[in-house]
Amino acid sequence: MSLSSMTGFARSHGSSGPYSFEWELKSVNAKGFDFRLRLPQGWDDIEADLRKRAADALSRGTVYANLTVKRADAGSTIRINEDVLTSVLKVASELAGRVDAVAPSIDGLMAIKGVIEVSEPEADEAADKAARTAVIASFARALGSLVEMRKREGATLGTVLAQRLDEIETLAKKAEAAPGRKPEAIRSRLAEQVAALLETSDRFDADRLHQEAIMLATKADIREELDRIASHVTQAREMLSKGGAVGRRLDFLSQEFNREVNTCCSKSIDLELTNTGLAMKNVVEQFREQVQNLE
């Protein structure tokens, strides 16, 4: 399976009978899957089908889907009810001789209920059903385009992440080869410090200080951390190779990377090793940021 990004954009449009429509889909990063759908009034009956298709195709990311529909014969028809208007005018004429008032105006007559009739276009069940089928098919095309774009972005991310893993591995090997991380080198530096302390005062117990120095040298060794970093690199490469929805697992692994590198830095008492650890920490952070974009 290929890797997929969580970001993408797609459009699809079409027509069916008197209807023309357009879909616009876009997706962004999210911890889970969230499908936010906007449908015109009267199209809610296709929502369940659309949600199922989206959930089957995508497993992570916030997806915004917007449908715009226009109907060619959607204009309302306006007509004057002649019978009602005649009756209103007749009554107005009769009242004119009995009541001192101005003659009724056109807008006044039109405001009387029943004078103006508005008729909507007749519903065509067959045309409406065909339009809904076409709209769902258009959504499927847009969803397919969105998935393909996310895969293209995922392939690019995979290349970047592989490069970051190579850098982490190189820095880990550099740390392993650093002369300052060897236990004997650490013990030697601590022994020098113990000797300096003994020269300044005779109140220190030399045997006790040497024992403490040996314990500190053992604790300062980063062999275990380097082994775990190498194991994490191998796991990450396997995930990238298999593909699929591995974003969450790689995100967890990036946290483990960070934990081991931090331990390496905290244990280091050598400047070169500390600088290597800080460089590795920077690459791990870049790795984690890119992983946030994966499905």
- Give all domains of the chain, ordered by start, each with its CATH number: 8-73+126-151 (3.30.230), 77-119 (no CATH), 154-291 (1.20.140.40)
Averaged confidence pLDDT in the chain: 85
Q: In angstroms, what is the C-alpha Rg of the chain?
A: 37
| Mean pLDDT calculated for residue range 278-283 | 95
> H or E segment at 34?
strand 33-38
pLDDT digits (tens, 9 = 90+) for 94-114: 777 676 666 677 777 677 777
**pLDDT over threshold 90, residue 86:** no
Rounded to an integer, what distance in angstroms lies between the CA atom of residue 293 and that of residue 7? 7
pLDDT digits (tens, 9 = 90+) for 129-183: 999 999 999 999 999 999 999 999 999 999 999 999 999 999 999 988 877 666 6
What's the length of the chain? 295
Rounded to an integer, what distance in angstroms lies between the CA atom of residue 230 and that of residue 236? 10
Locate 111 and state its tokens. Answer: 């405001």
Locate 32 and state its tokens. Answer: 């889970």
* Residue 177 pLDDT: 82
Locate 30 and state its tokens. Answer: 């999210």
Rounded to an integer, what distance in angstroms lies between the CA atom of residue 272 and that of residue 269? 9
pLDDT digits (tens, 9 = 90+) for 216-258: 555 567 788 899 999 999 999 999 999 989 999 999 999 999 9
| Mean pLDDT calculated for residue range 108-130 | 75
Overall pTM > 0.75: no
pLDDT bucket at 203, cuts 50 / 70 / 90: low
Rounded to an integer, what distance in angstroms lies between the CA atom of residue 264 and that of residue 225? 7
